[in-house]
């Protein structure tokens, strides 16, 4: 099965401008769908190169007649953000017109879908999945799409909202590879964490803000809770894949990540062939509310004494903030409030008070980690 490339036109928002979403599809119409997109936060570059290599690998798999399920790759999921620059600085995380984070506010369709399928659910899980996916598609088609950003969300969610596997490729500032997943998806996602060599697998039923991966997967366990006497499986394994840090862009790394995704697709039946054994996990899964989002206490220059990927202890000094005004002032220590993996930190070293500058994945929930777990400190 050869690749089919589609171009989805977005509404024109300014005279003389046109934007489109490019989508590559292998095995269109086959029973199960895998959906992979890159750079929804458009200033996060690693996923763009991973998608480049993944398309080439999937073309080769198609030539070898290995396509066994429908596979959709969107190599750049956010043409709006790709075009946002100010004074040679790329601003691709937030929509310049609305100020909204491109990875927040995705469709929350549980109520709508529950109302549509309540009288159609039974004891056959396959029939229930088909009914729910039909309702998801209908609800997605009914979403507003007059604005460019609305049309982008609807176009992407029409593909991903009914998929069996969804991988949303992102990156952090300076980081080791890590995953965000719904708690009910673990340990089923162990193969994904093992193949990608994830250093932290962060679990939450809801993290806040309805990011893309949760919009795709949360609806399944919410419906199962709503209809406990019906057979409703977790029919979508959806994950945010943080491909290390923004500067980690090179062919060898990107090809390795693309090959890891290919093994996941093979192991899960979207490709024929042998995927090999699942590699051992580099870490145990930990709760998202166990992540210590360490904030700077004072302004200055952060000087780190440990590396991303290191295991640290509660109370350990990870670095210091240097006072740039007084060369003789004592430095302010940066202290871990939990033990675990230092999986990400801010690449820029000039920091401000209250600014999150490091993340440690701890095994136990932290009492102050409430509300929006992706941004709270």
The verdict on residue 376 lying in a domain is no
Instruction: Based on the fold, state whether residues 262 and 193 are members of the same structural domain.
Output: yes
Last residue of a domain, one of 253, 284, 315: 284
> Is the pLDDT at 377 greater than 50, yes or no?
no
Do 109 and 34 lie in one domain? The reply is yes
Indicate whether 368 belongs to any domain. Answer: no
* Tens digits of residue pLDDT in 310-353: 999 999 999 999 999 999 999 999 999 999 999 999 999 999 99
Give the domain extent around 353: 287-361
Please, which residues bridge with residue 21 across strands?
Answer: 8
Answer yes or no: is 369 within a domain. no
CATH number for position 323: 2.40.50.100
- State the virtual CA torsion across 23, 29, 32, 36 in degrees, nearest 10: 0
Domain endpoint, select from 263, 284, 305: 284
Q: Is residue 67 part of a domain?
A: yes
Q: Is 0.95 surpassed by the pTM of this model?
A: yes
Domain total of the chain: 2
End residue of a domain, out of 252, 284, 316: 284
Residue 7 has, within 13 A of its CA and on its CB side, a CA count of: 5
Residue 223 in 3-state DSSP?
Answer: helix
- 8 Å CB contact between 185 and 239: yes
CATH of the domain at 8: 3.40.630.10
**66 found inside a domain:** yes
Is there a single domain that holds both residue 247 and residue 271?
yes
**Residue 1 pLDDT:** 78
Q: Is 61 within a domain?
A: yes
What average pLDDT does this structure show over 171-176? 98
Clarify whether residues 271 and 299 are in a common domain: no
Which of 119, 130, 138, 153 has its CA nearest to residue 10? 153
């Amino acid at each position: 099965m050869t690749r089919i490339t589609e171009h989805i036109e977005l509404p024109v928002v300014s005279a003389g401008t046109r934007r489109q979403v490019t989508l590559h599809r292998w095995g269109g119409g086959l029973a199960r769908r895998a959906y992979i997109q890159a750079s929804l936060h458009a200033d996060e570059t690693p996923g763009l190169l991973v998608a480049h290599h993944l398309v080439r690998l999937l073309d080769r798999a198609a030539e070898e007649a290995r396509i066994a399920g429908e596979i959709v790759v969107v190599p750049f999921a956010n043409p709006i953000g790709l075009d946002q620059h100010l004074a040679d600085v790329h601003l691709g995380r937030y929509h310049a017109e609305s100020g909204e984070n491109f990875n927040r506010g995705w469709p929350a369709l549980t109520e709508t879908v529950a109302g549509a399928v309540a009288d159609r659910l039974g004891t056959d899980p396959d029939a229930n999945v088909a009914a729910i996916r039909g309702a998801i598609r209908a609800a997605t088609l009914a979403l507003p799409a007059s604005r460019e950003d609305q049309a982008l969300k609807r176009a992407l969610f029409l593909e991903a909202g009914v998929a069996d596997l969804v991988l949303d490729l992102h990156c952090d500032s300076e980081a080791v590879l890590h995953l965000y997943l719904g708690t009910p998806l673990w340990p089923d996602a162990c193969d994904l964490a093992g193949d990608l060599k994830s250093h932290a697998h962060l679990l939450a039923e809801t993290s806040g803000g309805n990011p893309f991966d949760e919009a795709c997967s949360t609806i399944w366990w919410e419906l199962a809770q709503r209809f406990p006497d019906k057979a409703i499986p977790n029919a979508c394994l959806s994950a945010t894949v943080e491909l290390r840090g923004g500067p980690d862009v090179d062919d060898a790394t990107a090809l390795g990540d693309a090959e890891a995704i290919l093994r996941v697709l093979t192991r899960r039946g979207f490709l024929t062939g042998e995927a090999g054994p699942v590699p051992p996990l580099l870490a145990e899964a930990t709760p998202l509310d166990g992540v210590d989002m360490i904030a700077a206490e004072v302004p200055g220059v952060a000087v780190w004494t440990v590396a991303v990927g290191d295991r640290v202890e509660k109370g350990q000094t990870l670095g210091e903030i240097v006072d740039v005004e007084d060369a003789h002032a004592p430095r302010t220590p940066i202290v871990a409030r939990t033990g675990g993996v230092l999986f990400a930190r801010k690449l820029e070293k000039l920091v401000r008070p209250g600014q999150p500058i490091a993340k440690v994945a701890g095994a136990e929930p932290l009492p102050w980690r409430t509300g929006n777990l992706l941004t709270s400190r």
